[in-house]
Structure 1
Amino acid sequence: MNRISRFLWFCSGAHIDTLEKHPTDHNKYVGIGATIFFTGLFAALSGGYAMIFVFKGGDLAWLFSIFFGLIWGLAIFNMDRYIVGSLDKNASSNKQLLQATPRILLAIMIGIVISRPLELKIFDKEIKEKLKVSYLNGQRSKIDTLNKAFDKKYTIEISKFNDQKAQRDSLAAAIKSDRQKLNYEIFGNKTTETSGVMGYGPYAKRKEAELKQREQNLDTLTADLRKTERFIDGRKQFDGLMSEKLYTTKQLDSLANIAGFADRNWALGQLSFNADGTKDLNTSLAVTFIGLLFIFFECLPVFVKLMSARGSYDHAIENAEKVQVHLSDKDRDMEITVADQIQDTRVGIRAQQRVDELKS
């Protein structure tokens, strides 16, 4: 426990040898040091997680992520240690508040930077689902855009194809109706368009001849339709429409897993909105409060030191600083005195040398 306490005192930026002599302030600086340490730890985790997306795909991505995460954590730890350690508890309340203001603003910025990657990890499942929807909508929009551009480019061919198809369908329906009428005529079914006499008579022969001619026309029209269809399909293949398809579930999972930091950050922002664009209050509050939690955690050491009363350790530090300043001033005065004496000696030596020269 003694080693842990000394380590946390070091984290708090306190002078350990002086703090050991003042037991009443031990717990305060243990708390401050622990907060700074865990802030650095969270920063390391946050930075390492963010670096995963930067180096994703590399053979040593995990190693680089750990390395840069540790560097980032140590940088934040050192900055927090300086922010807290530089607050002067021996100054007046107004001066302390003035000193703390820029430090609090810096702590807020650090808290925002730290919280974002951790929020991405907390809402990882929801972010992946949002990304899948986004990728699917993007692919659907891309296909729609290609189809519209193709329709505009080949308006004449598509219009011809539609006309041929309509003519084929109309002719096929008419042939089917005439075939039924011919059967009625042959088998003696009485209708408004048949004689009702059974047998293969002149009327039936004439209807069959007309029917064969129309079937030949249908075959010719079908051949032309297939030719036009093959041309359009070839153009679609050439323009890339045939290769563009909606993503499968497996493809969407793969895309969501390899999404970069920017895409995930965008998806996290979109979690605060419903599909119809309205505000999702519950998710928005959850994301906001998690971010505020990390910001408050980052500012906590500064607040603790500001709110804490001036203890015996602070008095000891003030006295030590005064003694150090006094010794520094005394040393500086001694240095000035010695320098003046050396200068006077040099002047005396030069004067004596001048006198000796004149005598000689």
Structure 2
Amino acid sequence: MLQQFFIICSGADINILKNASSSEKNKYAGIGATVFFTALMAFIASGYALYTVFDNLFTAIFFGLIWGLLIFNLDRFIVSTIKKRDSFLDEFLQALPRLILALIIAIVISKPLEMKIFEKEINQVLLEEKNAMTLENQEQIALQFSPKETELKQNIEDLKSEIDTKEAEVNALYDTYISEAEGTAGTKKLGKGPVYKEKRDKHDAALAQLQQLKTDNKAKIAAIETQLEQLQNNYQTQVNNTQPIIDGFDGLMARVNALNKLPWLPSFFIFLLFLAIETAPIFAKLISPKSEYDFKLEDQETAVKTLVQQRVEERKLALQTDFKINDKVYTDLSEEDELYQFKRKKARELMQLQADAFYKSQQKLL
């Protein structure tokens, strides 16, 4: 039963192999097994690749099954259409397009399985790329907010600087009236005279202005800090909104690109393995000698070809014979006097009718 199934997979004629030797059956069963397991690997590979795209198990299995059946049909067609010839060069030229197709199929099958085999290494490459993208994304978003943030921080520094300047002025006035009271500066008279009072009033007025300035600037600084906090919140919100895009950078193309950044030699050997599996049935038919199955198949095909050619030639001869008979028949008829008299009579009647019609048309004109 299993051998029969693999023979069907090989695309060989079951009726011819039914009476063939065991070795011939085993040969085509082996070819069919290769075709079947190649399609199975194609199903697994495409299922994994589609799972990375759709992230849904049932969708991946469904489309993976369709892809596996497609590869199975292509491989079966490739193997079944290779016929043994009397010249190896003719056989190779016949198989060359199929070898190219097998090469393409091997690449398509091997790439998703390479991604699964080197999944951990690919994840590491993707993690590094995601980290780099995260930092780059944060820098790009920061560029949108940094001018405004710098401006607000500069405004706070200006307000604080204004307070510091006013404090320095108040402290200078304080030192002035204290020195006047001590007699170390100004009038250099010890005691609290009119000059002292004047300087003290000036200091007190400046101190009141300083207190008011601190109150006003404190409110302004609080408002600016609120703007800065809102700016930081907007920055963080934009970072949080864009981060899922970076976290989702895990699709099929991203994994293929990550695989290409790994050392090429392991991937190349895996590709060679699948190429060998895919082309094995083709090379098996190319290098194997002409066997019992090939002779029987050739006998059937040439029998049909000969029968068709015979029927075509028979139709050509029948047509030529029919032409000759018709020529002879019409030649004989042309020599019969009875047929001549009959056609002469009919021609006369036709000419009389034409003359009558012409006469009537002329009468209407007159």
Number of aligned residue pairs: 303
Extract unaligned runs of 5+ from structure 1: 175-205, 273-280
**1:322 equivalenced with 2:313 (yes/no):** no
Q: Is the 8 A contact 2:141 2:238 kept in 1?
A: no
Moved more, 219-228 or 144-153: 219-228
- The residue identity in structure 2 corresponding to 1:234 is Q
Secondary structure of the residue that 1:243 maps to in structure 2?
helix
**1:265 equivalenced with 2:256 (yes/no):** yes
Q: 2:286 aligns with which of 298, 306, 309?
A: 306
Specify the alignment match of 1:38 in structure 2: 37
Specify the alignment match of 1:241 in structure 2: 235
Specify the alignment match of 1:232 in structure 2: 228
Q: 1:22 aligns with which of 20, 23, 27?
A: 20
Q: Is the 8 A contact 1:139 1:246 kept in 2?
A: no
TM-score normalised to structure 2 length: 0.67
**1:358 equivalenced with 2:340 (yes/no):** yes
Taking the aligned partners of 1:152 and 1:136, their CA distance within structure 2 comes to 25
Specify the alignment match of 1:294 in structure 2: 274
TM-score normalised to structure 1 length: 0.68
Q: Is the 8 A contact 2:141 2:239 kept in 1?
A: no
Q: Is the 8 A contact 1:13 1:82 kept in 2?
A: yes
Specify the alignment match of 1:333 in structure 2: 313
Q: Is the 8 A contact 1:45 1:69 kept in 2?
A: yes
Secondary structure of the residue that 1:19 maps to in structure 2?
helix
Specify the alignment match of 1:4 in structure 2: 2
Moved more, 130-139 or 95-104: 130-139
Moved more, 159-168 or 82-91: 159-168
Q: Give the Å deviation of 1:34.
A: 0.7
Query: Structure 1 pair 148/164, CA: closer, same or farther in 2 (3 Å)?
Result: farther
Q: Give the Å deviation of 1:89.
A: 1.9
Q: Give the Å deviation of 1:336.
A: 2.0
Provide Cα deviations, 1:218-268, integer angstroms capped at 9, x if missing partner. Answer: 77655443332222333444xx30314469xxx98x945x94322332333
**1:111 equivalenced with 2:102 (yes/no):** no
Query: Structure 1 pair 243/318, CA: closer, same or farther in 2 (3 Å)?
Result: same
Specify the alignment match of 1:82 in structure 2: 77
Taking the aligned partners of 2:58 and 2:327, their CA distance within structure 1 comes to 67
5 Å-filtered alignment, 1:89-168, equals: 89-161=84-156
Specify the alignment match of 1:178 in structure 2: none
Specify the alignment match of 2:64 in structure 1: 69
Identity over aligned pairs, percent = 33
Structure with more helix by fraction: 2
Q: Give the Å deviation of 1:306.
A: 1.8
Specify the alignment match of 1:50 in structure 2: 49
Q: Larger C-alpha radius of gyration, 1 or 2? A: 2
Taking the aligned partners of 1:319 and 1:52, their CA distance within structure 2 comes to 49
Specify the alignment match of 2:347 in structure 1: none
Query: Structure 1 pair 62/358, CA: closer, same or farther in 2 (3 Å)?
Result: farther
Q: Give the Å deviation of 1:112.
A: 0.6
Q: Give the Å deviation of 1:325.
A: 2.3
- The residue identity in structure 2 corresponding to 1:46 is A
Taking the aligned partners of 1:319 and 1:82, their CA distance within structure 2 comes to 21
